[in-house]
Amino acid sequence: MAAELDSGPPPRLGAAIGPLLLTSLVISVGFTMLQSFGIMAESAKAELLLSDNALALVQGASAAISLVLFSIPIGIWVDRRSRVRILLLMAVIWTGGTLATAAAGNVFMLFFARMFVGIGATGALTAVLSLASDYCRPEQRGRALLVPNLTKAAGVGAGFTIAGFLLQHFAAGGVPGLFGASPWRSAQWALGIGSAVLLLPILLLREPPRHEVEAGPGAPLRVLFAELWARRAWVIPLFVGQVTVVMADAAAAIWASPLLQRTYHQQPGDFAGWLGAIVFLTGILGSIAGGIAADAGQKARFRGGLMVGAFVAAAVGVPCALFPLMPSVSGFAVAIGLLMLVGNITGIVASVALTVWLPNELRGLSIGAFIAIAGLIGFGVAPSLVAGLSSFLGGEAHLAAAQAIVGVAVSIVSVLGFGLAMRNAPGQAIG
């Protein structure tokens, strides 16, 4: 069922704050499930006898392949059909993937389980960002989109903190293992069961009317792709800028736990709490800063002002990518925290640009295309690139240097991409 169209202006943000909060809270659950495996990776590696390259495939390529295959079709689906129903389906998919992770008996099962979690969480994000754009007017969109980004960040932080808490307590024997499983599997079982219970609030949502439509949700695909191609001068650099930010952040998130354990001799129980807190706090602060910067940038008197926040944040991220080379755990924490902060800022500014500068019927497609490209390059290439460079430098002992080299290189490219997107930005928002 497709949503109805409304040629009038979207409502004020305050009129739809309830549905916006509800959809955003659902997203937090999905990203908790997506992030939860990261802190358990070393435990799974030991139990299943995985190499670093296999671990990179499970955490990176599984997400990349699923995103490349499904993100654009889901994005087109979001532009044409009920986004609320799509959100419910995606929640079911990520819950099933979490439960399958707990049951995985080999690397292939684990790979496909994590793939389904990635499909569900990122597909749901596409639906929620599209919904959020119809919950408010363009000049309020930065503040509206910061809400799902806040709860997404909360979910990522909870993925570290809750998963680490569960893993520690199951490992200590204070809590009996579920279904006779090992500690990391018991933690995944608990997360999957909790996710299933938390799906119920989605049933309270209703589909809102669509605003700011040009060709319409029923337009042929050739028309939609032609509309997007006509905007390539700013769309492509924007994609390059944000995809390379995702590369830096994805590699950092995936290799943070192994780096802390190998280089700094920390155990998951030592860093799960503070790493989760950093992810959570930088997600909150980055979303707030990005949302405010995007709305303020729309008032600028020069072309591309909306993108100023992303450009500045990307530049700050270049030295922060050196976090694996910090001489202490506290230095590591500060640097990776700043890298995550600027990544959240650029993410929300880029999202606002897509929802303000594109008509409604292109938003799901463009967000889906971005997720697909970011998934392929950010999650699929970046972690494996770090592992491959580490091997080239002499083996797993060089993981820190490899992570730093990749992080700095892609961060420099992100600055150039955002700068070009600013230069070629459209003169005004779609209205």
- Domain hosting 237: range is 13-202+221-423
Q: Give the model's pLDDT for residue 364.
A: 83
Per-residue confidence (pLDDT) for residue 430, from 0 to 100: 54
- Report the alpha-carbon distance of residue 53 to residue 50 in Å, rounded: 8
pLDDT at res. 424: 93
Residue 184, helix vs strand vs coil: helix
Residue 5 pLDDT greater than 60, yes or no: no
Backbone dihedral region of 181: left (phi > 0), alpha (psi from -120 to 50 degrees) or beta? Answer: beta
If pLDDT is split at 50, 70 and 90, which confidence band does 329 have?
very high
At 3, the pLDDT band (50, 70, 90 cuts) reads: low
pLDDT at residue 174 in the model: 60
At 14 the pLDDT is: 66
Q: What number is the average pLDDT over the span 304-323?
A: 94
Above 70 in pLDDT, residue 218? no
Question: Over 80: is that where the pLDDT of 10 sits?
Answer: no
Distance separating alpha carbons of residues 298 and 175, to the nearest angstrom? 52
- CATH number of the domain at 73, please: 1.20.1250.20
Task: Name the pLDDT band for 340 (thresholds 50, 70, 90).
Answer: very high
Q: 150 lies in a domain? A: yes
Res 8: pLDDT: 55
Tell whether 431 is covered by a domain: no
| Domain assignment present for 378 | yes
pLDDT range class, residue 359, cuts 50, 70, 90: confident
339 located within any domain: yes
Residue 5 domain-assigned (yes or no)? no
The token duo for 189 is 């079982």
Residue 414: its pLDDT value, please? 96
Residue 153: predicted pLDDT: 76
Mean pLDDT (the chain) is: 85
Q: Residue 311: what pLDDT?
A: 96
- With a CB cutoff of 8 Å and minimum separation 6, the contacts of 303 are 422, 423, 425, 427
Query: Quick one: three-class SS letters along 214-231?
Result: CCCCCCCHHHHHHHHHCC
What pLDDT digit, counting tens, does each position of 27-53 carry? 999 999 998 888 888 888 888 887 777
Number of structural domains, the chain?
1
Q: Report the alpha-carbon distance of residue 303 to residue 212 in Å, rounded.
A: 21
Decide which of 110 and 201 is more confident: 110
41, part of any domain: yes
Report yes or no on 4 lying in a domain.
Answer: no
Residue 295 within any structural domain of the chain: yes
Q: 239 or 223, which is more confident? A: 239
| pLDDT surpasses 70 at 327 | yes
Chain Cα centroid distance, residue 253: 11
pLDDT score of 279: 78
The size of the chain, in residues, is: 431
> pLDDT value at position 86?
94
Residue 198 pLDDT > 60: yes
Residue 156 pLDDT exceeds 90: no
205/180: higher pLDDT: 205
175 has pLDDT over 70: no
392 pLDDT more than 80: yes
Q: Which one of 133-142, 317-326, 344-353 scores highest in mean pLDDT?
A: 317-326
Instruction: Give the range among 209-223, 290-304, 332-346 with minimum mean pLDDT.
Output: 209-223
Element (H, E) at 34: helix 17-35
b/e 124-147 (16+ beta carbons within 10 angstroms → b)? bbbbbbbbbbbbbbbebbbbbbbb
pTM above 0.85, yes or no: no
- What pLDDT band is residue 211 in, cutting at 50, 70 and 90? low
Question: Which DSSP category does 210 fall into?
Answer: B
72-76, 149-153, 198-202, 350-354: range with lowest mean pLDDT:
149-153
